Structure 1
Amino acid sequence: MVNIEIPKNYTASPSSFMGTSSLTINHEATLDLDSSNAFEGPEKLLEVWFGPSPRDFLGSTEPTGLKAVPVEIWKDMLDLVSCKVLSIIESDDVDAYLLSESSMFVFPHKLILKTCGTTTLLSGLPRILEIAALYAGFPKNTAPASLGIKTAAAPYRLAR
């Protein structure tokens, strides 16, 4: 159990002096803290780029690209990744999603998904590619699996 009370010998906080702002830390309260279980898993980052800029797709895709995807569709994809949307901030350039396990940024031409904990980030990749084709009009791999990767469109061969 952690003791969070102010120690009895603690007489004055540095912030009690007029005109002085500072942070007071009760070091005695932190002695019993165990940070070995503070993080459930490593941070993971997935960036999916469909082009170098939003202007590269004018006329060939949905004008707002990935930003045209309804929020509910993204939420369903994030269920596959094992995280939930807590908050969304939308702008003309990017939609920022605060997630239960970090964040997602949706641009017209790319998606950045950064997670931590026990998320299964790569589980969402096939669905992201499907969403990009269905809602934003980006090309998708239509080559039969039996013909191999060399028959796929160029973007699908550039995994490095």
Structure 2
Amino acid sequence: MASLAALSESFSHFYTITLALIFILILQLVTLIRSVTGYHSQDPITLAQYLEYIEDNNPTIHFSKKSTLEPNECTVCLSEIKEGENVRKLKCKHTFHRDCLDQWLQQYRATCPLCRTKVLPERIVAEFYRQQHEVEYDEEIVRAISAFYSIDRNRLF
């Protein structure tokens, strides 16, 4: 009976080690595929470039109550837009505080917060999104490997 228990424990160790090796091989395969397919963008769009692109396509203006008949409320922050504040007026004619709209667009919503008209080309948003999440994805892989190695190391060997 003792030899059966020892055999069972040995099989359990072998099974755990096999799973560990498969897990490591899968992570290595994902990393290899990402590097071969060019997953890492050659020219990633940085936050500064993204904000510059927003500015180029939707320039900042100073709000003037005289120049608009629309209600002067930013529907992102739900605050009144006051005389002289920096705003962006989109092609769809909706107006928002500049910082509110920039934050909205940084959250990967390339559309007007009200009518969902496209504000930025999808290619630009996709490149920015990928660049922002590439780092997060790599960090998740490192955390997964670290967590795996920290799980009951004594059980493996």
Structure 1-normalised TM-score?
Answer: 0.24
Please state which structure has a larger fraction of its residues in helix.
Answer: 2
Please state which structure has a larger fraction of its residues in strand.
Answer: 1
Structure 2-normalised TM-score?
Answer: 0.24
